[in-house]
């Protein structure tokens, strides 16, 4: 499987971060699996029409996180997804998003039940649920 990159200029998120976010999401959603190859720096840069150094920086960040691996002369591959954040750190990163989601839902007059239902429905569509089908590794 592959991931289709899509970048926006004028966003609050720098382009290199849009790329790393999309790879992370691809891995988290199962669209990118261990061993999948990503386009070369040059190919992705020309495809997205962005500076190759921007793509190189995004790949370098992902390599240092252990999400990607560069194999000499062959390209860049998704590696075993390593757990790099502690549970506490994971929560620390997740919490602002949960707060934002719940806050927005309350402002828009959604009920708790509606929110729970929507949440469940989204979760069921997610391919590699942790503790779900057990294919996480």
Judged by the rule CB under 8 A, the positions of this chain that interact with other proteins are 9-16, 42, 45-46, 49-53, 57
Nearer Cβ to other proteins, position 13 or 111?
13
Q: Output the smallest distance, CB 48 to other proteins, in A.
A: 8
Q: Output the smallest distance, CB 35 to other proteins, in A.
A: 29
Nearer Cβ to other proteins, position 57 or 81?
57
Nearer Cβ to other proteins, position 54 or 79?
54
Q: Report d(CA 13, CA 10) in Å as an integer.
A: 8
Contact status, residue 20 vs residue 5, Cβ threshold 8 Å: no
Nearer Cβ to other proteins, position 99 or 136?
99
Q: How many Cβ atoms sit within 10 Å of the Cβ of residue 91?
A: 11
Contact status, residue 68 vs residue 23, Cβ threshold 8 Å: yes
Q: Report d(CA 99, CA 4) in Å as an integer.
A: 29
Q: Output the smallest distance, CB 27 to other proteins, in A.
A: 23
Q: Output the smallest distance, CB 50 to other proteins, in A.
A: 5
Q: Output the smallest distance, CB 65 to other proteins, in A.
A: 17
Alpha helices in 108-131 (DSSP H): 112-125
Nearer Cβ to other proteins, position 42 or 127?
42
Q: Report d(CA 107, CA 10) in Å as an integer.
A: 27
Q: Report d(CA 123, CA 131) in Å as an integer.
A: 12
């Amino acid at each position: 499987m592959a991931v289709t990159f899509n970048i926006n200029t004028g966003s609050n998120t720098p382009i290199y971060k849009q790329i790393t976010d999309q790879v992370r999401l691809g891995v988290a959603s199962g669209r990118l699996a261990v061993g999948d190859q990503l386009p070369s720096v040059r190919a992705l840069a020309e495809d997205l029409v962005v500076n190759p150094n921007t793509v190189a920086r995004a790949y370098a960040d992902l390599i240092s996180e252990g999400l990607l691996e560069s194999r000499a002369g062959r390209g860049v591959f998704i590696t075993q997804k390593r757990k790099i954040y502690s549970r506490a750190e994971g929560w620390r990163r997740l919490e602002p998003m949960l707060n934002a989601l719940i806050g927005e839902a309350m402002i828009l007059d959604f009920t708790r039940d509606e929110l729970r239902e929507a949440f469940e429905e989204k979760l069921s569509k997610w391919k590699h649920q942790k503790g779900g089908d057990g294919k996480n590794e």
